[in-house]
Amino acid sequence: MKSTFFCLLLTGMLACSLHAAEVTIEERLRALEQQVQHLAKENSDLKKELGWKDNQVPVLVQPAGKETRLSVGGFLQAQGEFGHAADPRWAGVNDRFYFRRARIYVQGVFAEDIDFKAELDLQGNSLGAATGLLARGNEIFISWHKFPGAIVRFGQIKAAFGAEQLASDTRLFTIERTLPNDRLTDARQIGFCVNGEGFDQKVGYLVTLHNGNGVNVSANDNNKFQKAARAYFVPVASGADRLVFGVDGLWTEDAGVSKPGFGLAGNLFTGERSAWGVDGLWHHGPFDLSAEWLHNTFKPAGGAEFEAGGWSATAAYYLVPGRVQGVVRHEEFDPNTGIGGNSSHSWTVGLNYLIKGEDLRLMLDYVQGVVPGSTTDGGRVLTRMQVIF
């Protein structure tokens, strides 16, 4: 009797064990089926992003060298402008449609802490009413980034002077940079720089050494080099708040360098030039406030020394979070502080509609300015559609 009971108990336990095993296997099979379905959906979505249709394999960018990563990108800024010359940059410019910038680049990274970029501008990056625009090199460099505190870069890069000048063309709150920025800072040029950050990214610096005579120029105007340096301090940095203070300077000795807007003969300057600037930026949730002051001292060869300066302040606020942004800016520029009544000043009121962040953005600005001695100054409407790819 006992043996019969023991056999029945053993049989029951074995049946329960087999049933539990069967349930476990079924659960595993269901889990595997779900994973396969998830991977199939990811594969389908990826094919759509890559443009893979049916059995036609898309053409993908492949590194020709031994770099670990290679990418192609760029952006377009299509504009329409209407009205009067709100500042001297629009003197003689009629109502028009044009591409402000049309850039394409290739960039990549090597495992040996080397990265590179070669960017072309297909519209010449000209604000003036130019004709016969040709593609030209814009930002071209090779850099070594092994140490975050000392990143070394060589190529066609910006001088370490002017916070607005150093800001990306695609991330500005207004369609155009300020007149003080255009007149008192220098654009990209061939040179060498070192930059880095420290103390938990609370402080940073940028030091540059350039030929000193402008973009797309492989010659040096003399045997001297343009020197510039910038330092900044970030006392507040969190998800919703950021406060930045910067100071920078530039020193150079020029020989026939183009410097329009100062009343120079042929807009060319020969002599010594030094510059100073201070700036601040406060980001608080949907609100941004920035300001910059710039000052140049010109010592012409065989001429009288003079000083020039300018400042600007910009406020931006998201009227609709992440979508619609309002902007107000005031700026002033004095090409010679020793002469009265020659300053230009303007107000800008703008509206930005971010369809897909900065990648797809519509911009509308109205600039009301006063230009001394001009009979055509006044209001100008600027519009832009920006596409980043």
**pLDDT computed for residue 9 by the predictor:** 47
What is the CATH classification number for the domain harbouring 122? 2.40.160.10
**pLDDT computed for residue 38 by the predictor:** 83
User: Does some domain include residue 375?
Assistant: yes
- Looking only at Cα atoms, what is the longest distance across the chain? 126
User: Does some domain include residue 1?
Assistant: no
> Domain tally for the chain?
2
Same domain, residue pair 113 and 258:
yes
User: Does some domain include residue 322?
Assistant: yes
The residue type of 9 is: L
User: Does some domain include residue 340?
Assistant: yes
Q: Mind listing the pLDDT tens digit for each residue in 265-285? A: 999 999 999 999 999 999 999
* Cα–Cα distance for residue pair 179/345, rounded to 1 Å: 9
Q: Mind listing the pLDDT tens digit for each residue in 194-239? A: 999 999 999 999 999 999 988 888 899 999 999 999 999 999 999 8
User: Does some domain include residue 56?
Assistant: no
pLDDT at residue 37 is higher than 90: no
Same domain, residue pair 76 and 200:
yes
User: Does some domain include residue 353?
Assistant: yes
**Using only C-alpha atoms, what is the Rg of the chain?**
30
In the numeric block, which tokens belong to residue 239? Answer: 């998800």
Domain residue limits at 47: 19-51
Q: What percent of the chain has pLDDT over 70?
A: 90
* Cα–Cα distance for residue pair 309/181, rounded to 1 Å: 10
Same domain, residue pair 28 and 88:
no
Q: Where are the beta strands (DSSP E) in the chain?
A: 69-83, 96-110, 114-121, 136-144, 151-157, 189-198, 203-210, 226-237, 241-258, 268-284, 287-300, 306-320, 324-334, 344-356, 360-370, 379-388
Q: What is the pTM of this model?
A: 0.83
Geometric angle at alpha carbon 355, from 78 and 244, rounded to 5°: 85
Same domain, residue pair 120 and 32:
no
User: Does some domain include residue 6?
Assistant: no
- Mean pLDDT of the region 357-362: 97
